[in-house]
Amino acid sequence: MGTSLTHWGAFRATVEAGDVASVAPIAGDTDPSPALGNLPGSVRHSARITGPAVRRGWLDDGPGPSSRRGADDFVAVSWDELTELLAAELRRVIDRHGNSALYGGSYGWASAGRFHHAQSQVHRFLNCLGGYTFSRHSYSLGATGVIMPRVVGTHDDLFKRSTAWDVIVEHTELLVCFGGLALKNTGVNHGGTTAHPARDALHRFRAGGGRIVSFSPLRDDVDGPCDWFAPVPGTDVAIMLALAHVLATESLADRDFLATYCTGYERFERYLLGIDDGVPKSPQWAARLCGLDPEDLTALARQMAAHRTIVTVSWSLQRTRFGEQAPWMGLTLAAMLGQIGLPGGGFGHGYGSMNEPGLPPLRCALPRLPQGVNPVTSFIPVAAISDMLLHPGESFDYNGLRLTYPDVKMVYWAGGNPFHRHQNIPRLRRALGRVDTVVVHDPYWTAMARHADIVVPSTTFLERDDFSGSRNDPVLMAMPRLTEPYAGARDDYDTFATLAAALGVEEDFTEGRTSAQWLRHLYDTWSQALDFAVPTFDEFWSAGQVRLPVEDGLTLLADFRADPVAHRLGTRSGLIEIFSDDIDGFGYSDCAGHPAWFEPSEWLGGPRAQRYPLHLIANQPASRLHSQLDGGKTSQESKVAGREPIRMHPSDAQARGLHTGDVVRVFNDRGACLAGVLVDERVRPQVVQLSTGAWYDPVDPADPEAMCVHGNPNVFTDDIGTSSLARGCTGAHVLVEIEKYAATPPPVRAHQPPRIVRR
Ligand SMILES: Nc1nc2c(c(=O)[nH]1)N[C@H]1C(S)=C(S)[C@@H](COP(=O)(O)OP(=O)(O)OC[C@H]3O[C@@H](n4cnc5c(=O)[nH]c(N)nc54)[C@H](O)[C@@H]3O)O[C@H]1N2
Ligand SMILES: Nc1nc2c(c(=O)[nH]1)N[C@H]1C(S)=C(S)[C@@H](COP(=O)(O)OP(=O)(O)OC[C@H]3O[C@@H](n4cnc5c(=O)[nH]c(N)nc54)[C@H](O)[C@@H]3O)O[C@H]1N2
Ligand SMILES: [Mo]
């Protein structure tokens, strides 16, 4: 029996014949994530990469653009050959094109361990070589990461220092949730988690008389009783404006709070009341967009003003076109209620998006592998990868800057799966076809690995020693190796150390340490910097964990409310910016100086819905983390007819002659996939839900436009940014049509390795 940690929780495992045989949550985790069920069999899964491999066409023809990526055979090579080829190609690209031609943005979740964290490893390695074009922000929080620092001075603290669940249970009367409070998502936390308290907190909240109002297309985004409103997806900003309109016109807005703690309310109010455009953003106005009853909105606004209320906005709302607006408008609405900084009142962002919001933060930092310094200045907002690869040398707007896409020749990926996360896969495939070389480190033959020229087999966290924790969890956990490395897999660290030696930067990269020595070193340097005592590394390792102090009882922005001068915000004015002069000054047509309603392209109210009348919600999967361990038991058991399940309302199913268990073709003009139908009343009519994470499985790998037979929604999502401000990912929403798939559905082969030939 061994113990370890994943992003979705800590567990105990039995190991047999070199693989995980069974898992159980650790004692004390009262609400473990079902995704733990994907671990058994994951070490020796058929999709494991068993040794280094090189795409045949790349080996035969050398580096260069190719349309064969994703369709070619692979040639098995030895580790020595791999090191030689890869070192030579890195040298060639850097010498001939410069370090900015190396894209090492390499975003992705990989494993929880702090040392073998693939992103940190690859960044450190590339920095030793002189740097790389990097990426900013995340797919998770692309819009929030840019807008919220400008309007409230931080984005991280909105989660890390969010109002604690205990404070909500005790003080909050009304939780108004835009995007629900999806407990399926609180299973997960970046870096791991040893407890899942959200479900229990909501029980206690209700038991104490608390009320939940959920705006969401899915009833089950809130577990248990709530007042459910199912508006037209993408209209939350209009709804919030309507609520704000009632507050403004019924003298319910807290003018003192707005005057003391905010700037720019008057400018915003002109827009709200329609003084300049003649369009008051009233409940009647919003009702025409969102489809809800204006009386209900008016009544809710009054209740919000009369009770201790938190307005919370899920992260999904900002993963849509104009995604900057929802968190900004949610904050503005909370500011008008005047309860920001009061216990149990104010603003929340991401309750139900991740385990972290509501959990007390650590009183210290965590051990961290230093990534070195990157001298290269070229970067992209992370979700602009296809834009960058397809438009080298072109300029683009980002957060008030005018930037230029570098001419990237080599894409280096470790620990992420762009075929899981990126929008418009046909476009991504054309973009990847443009570069000279694609390198991927992964334990598994994901679609990204299949599109690589050089494939580097990584160990999983189960095959190496590591430790991890997260900033809102009180436990730093040891992650001892549970079994030996499978087949030819190597730790990413060892791969990079060998490459660094071949490239003459071994000492810079390793600092003379083995990975075992690094673990001890990271722990020791971390513990020496703490202002409290922790056990020695050996004591920690044999105990398997160390408990760390946390800051209990937080209320978001309480210190700012208590003293807005001493605790001035990191915004230009030091206050909450309901109007931002800076953003206004950028003159963007798609993001104004104050939060506003913009009509998205992918929504039921627009012209596109005539052709594609169903609004697809591409949300996070309940059965796994992203694409990770899609071949595992929990994920596989969730499939319908072997495909990713698509949920739809009985009325939409009936109109198309569909039943639970049918295989359907889901499509728009960008692409198509197959999926398995689940008819479900909990889904709003005209909405369908297909989670991300089914491994991309093109029926004809040689055709970039090919239908995915497995159910990956990113084949048809739009690769367009949130706005010129943040250019965040907008993958959460897309319009589609659905029809019964009449032919015999092709088999799903995504979890079988590609053809590997030996020379
Ligand atoms: N089990 C599991 N948990 C996860 C993850 C996972 O892969 N699996 N991923 C983690 C990661 S990396 C992240 S960033 C977070 C993401 O957290 P979120 O982005 O919040 O998660 P989603 O599941 O995409 O969306 C939450 C809900 O928002 C609702 N929603 C979508 N569009 C709209 C809309 O226009 N209006 C309203 N009112 N509601 C809408 C959907 O019904 C959806 O179920 O989740 C984390 N948690
Ligand atoms: N349409 C749509 N698209 C979305 C979203 C959405 O809501 N809608 N959500 C977005 C969000 S919030 C996110 S965070 C992204 C997630 O996107 P990603 O983070 O790219 O997805 P993962 O599947 O977690 O990819 C992690 C990869 O790391 C590999 N890995 C695990 N351990 C190791 C290791 O030790 N070494 C190496 N080298 N690799 C390892 C795994 O096998 C896996 O292939 O997706 C985004 N995409
Ligand atoms: Mo995310």
- Structure confidence by residue, pLDDT tens digits, 380-427: 999 999 999 999 999 999 999 999 999 999 999 999 999 999 999 999
Ligand with minimal distance to 327 CA: 1
Ligand with minimal distance to 631 CA: 2
- Structure confidence by residue, pLDDT tens digits, 240-264: 999 999 999 999 999 999 999 999 9
Q: Pocket of ligand 2, candidates 316, 624, 729: which has the most ligand atoms within 8 Å of its Cβ, to mutate?
A: 729
Instruction: Please check if 276 is assigned to a binding site.
Output: no
- State how far the Cα of 85 lies from the Cα of 104, in Å rounded to an integer: 18
CB of 218 within 6 A of ligand 1: the answer is yes
Q: What's the confidence (pLDDT) of residue 106?
A: 85
Ligand with minimal distance to 428 CA: 2
Average pLDDT (653-660) is 98
CA of 138 to the centre of ligand 3 (A): 7
Please identify which residue in the block is written with the tokens 């209620």. Answer: 337
CB of 353 within 6 A of ligand 2: the answer is no
Cβ < 5 A residues, ion ligand 3: 140
Q: What's the confidence (pLDDT) of residue 534?
A: 98
CA of 292 to the centre of ligand 1 (A): 22
CB of 714 within 6 A of ligand 2: the answer is yes
Query: Per-residue pLDDT for 1 more than 90?
Result: no
Name all domains of the chain by residue range, CATH numbers in brackets.
Answer: 2-139+366-547 (3.40.50.740), 144-352+563-586 (3.40.228.10), 607-740 (2.40.40.20)
Q: What's the confidence (pLDDT) of residue 123?
A: 98
Answer for the pair 412, 126: CB distance below 8 angstroms, yes or no.
Answer: yes
CA of 417 to the centre of ligand 2 (A): 5
Q: Which atom of ligand 2 is nearest to the CA of 441?
A: 38
Q: Which atom of ligand 2 is nearest to the CA of 628?
A: 23
Query: Per-residue pLDDT for 356 more than 90?
Result: yes
CB of 186 within 6 A of ligand 1: the answer is no
Residue 28: what residue type? G
CA of 407 to the centre of ligand 2 (A): 25
Q: Which atom of ligand 2 is nearest to the CA of 109?
A: 19
Ligand with minimal distance to 731 CA: 2
- Structure confidence by residue, pLDDT tens digits, 556-615: 999 999 999 999 999 999 999 999 999 999 999 999 999 999 999 999 999 999 999 999
Q: Return the C-alpha torsion angle 262, 263, 266, 272, nearest 10.
A: -70
Query: Per-residue pLDDT for 24 more than 90?
Result: yes
Q: What's the confidence (pLDDT) of residue 749?
A: 97
Nearest CA to ligand 2 atom 1: 731
Q: Pocket of ligand 2, candidates 420, 465, 718: which has the most ligand atoms within 8 Å of its Cβ, to mutate?
A: 420
Q: Pocket of ligand 1, candidates 314, 321, 604: which has the most ligand atoms within 8 Å of its Cβ, to mutate?
A: 314
CB of 620 within 6 A of ligand 1: the answer is yes
CB of 184 within 6 A of ligand 1: the answer is yes
Nearest CA to ligand 1 atom 13: 140
Answer for the pair 414, 118: CB distance below 8 angstroms, yes or no.
Answer: yes
* CB neighbour list of residue 601: distance below 8 Å, 6 or more residues apart: 321, 608, 718, 720
CA of 298 to the centre of ligand 2 (A): 41
Q: What's the confidence (pLDDT) of residue 107?
A: 84
More confident residue, 758 or 116: 116
- State how far the Cα of 628 lies from the Cα of 434, in Å rounded to an integer: 27
CB of 728 within 6 A of ligand 2: the answer is no
Mark whether 109 is an active-site residue: yes
First to last CA, the chain: 42
Q: What's the confidence (pLDDT) of residue 94?
A: 98
Average pLDDT (745-759) is 95
Q: Pocket of ligand 1, candidates 137, 289, 617, 692: which has the most ligand atoms within 8 Å of its Cβ, to mutate?
A: 617
Query: Per-residue pLDDT for 105 more than 90?
Result: no
Average pLDDT (303-312) is 98
Residue 669 CB burial class (10 angstroms; 0-12, 13-18, ≥19)? exposed
Instruction: Please check if 472 is assigned to a binding site.
Output: no
List C-alpha distances in Å: 743 to 118, 664, 701, 703, 737. 42, 10, 19, 20, 18
Instruction: Please check if 464 is assigned to a binding site.
Output: yes
- State how far the Cα of 759 lies from the Cα of 756, in Å rounded to an integer: 10
Average pLDDT (326-344) is 98
Q: pLDDT class for 759, splitting at 50, 70, 90?
A: confident
Query: Per-residue pLDDT for 90 more than 90?
Result: yes
Instruction: Please check if 417 is assigned to a binding site.
Output: yes
Nearest CA to ligand 2 atom 46: 421
Task: Look at residues 492, 495, 431, 407 and name the one whose alpha carbon lies nearest to residue 86.
Answer: 495
CA of 619 to the centre of ligand 1 (A): 5
CB of 490 within 6 A of ligand 2: the answer is no
- State how far the Cα of 279 lies from the Cα of 597, in Å rounded to an integer: 11
CB of 139 within 6 A of ligand 1: the answer is no
CB of 492 within 6 A of ligand 2: the answer is yes
Average pLDDT (74-95) is 98
Instruction: Please check if 492 is assigned to a binding site.
Output: yes
CA of 442 to the centre of ligand 3 (A): 19
Instruction: Please check if 127 is assigned to a binding site.
Output: no
- Structure confidence by residue, pLDDT tens digits, 121-131: 999 999 999 99
Among 8, 103, 109, 493, the active-site one is: 109
Query: Per-residue pLDDT for 648 more than 90?
Result: yes
CB of 499 within 6 A of ligand 1: the answer is no
Answer for the pair 76, 52: CB distance below 8 angstroms, yes or no.
Answer: yes
* CB neighbour list of residue 657: distance below 8 Å, 6 or more residues apart: 740
Mark whether 696 is an active-site residue: no
Among 8, 107, 405, 518, the active-site one is: 107
Q: Which atom of ligand 1 is nearest to the CA of 350?
A: 20
In the chain, the percentage of residues whose pLDDT exceeds 90 is 99
CB of 712 within 6 A of ligand 2: the answer is no
Q: Following DSSP, what letter does each residue of 669-728 receive, concatenated? A: SS-EEEEEEEE-TTBPTTEEE--S-SPP-BSSTT-TTPPBSS--GGGTS----S-TTT--
- Structure confidence by residue, pLDDT tens digits, 529-563: 999 999 999 999 999 999 999 999 999 999 999 99
Q: Helix (H, G, I), strand (E, B), or coil: what is residue 382?
A: helix
CB of 140 within 6 A of ligand 2: the answer is yes
Nearest CA to ligand 2 atom 23: 627
Nearest CA to ligand 1 atom 34: 233
Q: Which atom of ligand 1 is nearest to the CA of 139?
A: 14
- Structure confidence by residue, pLDDT tens digits, 431-466: 999 999 999 999 999 999 999 999 999 999 999 999
CA of 314 to the centre of ligand 1 (A): 7
CA of 486 to the centre of ligand 3 (A): 28
Answer for the pair 13, 2: CB distance below 8 angstroms, yes or no.
Answer: yes
Task: Look at residues 349, 241, 351, 255 and name the one whose alpha carbon lies nearest to residue 301.
Answer: 241
Average pLDDT (195-203) is 98
Q: Pocket of ligand 2, candidates 38, 106, 109: which has the most ligand atoms within 8 Å of its Cβ, to mutate?
A: 109
Q: Which atom of ligand 2 is nearest to the CA of 108?
A: 19
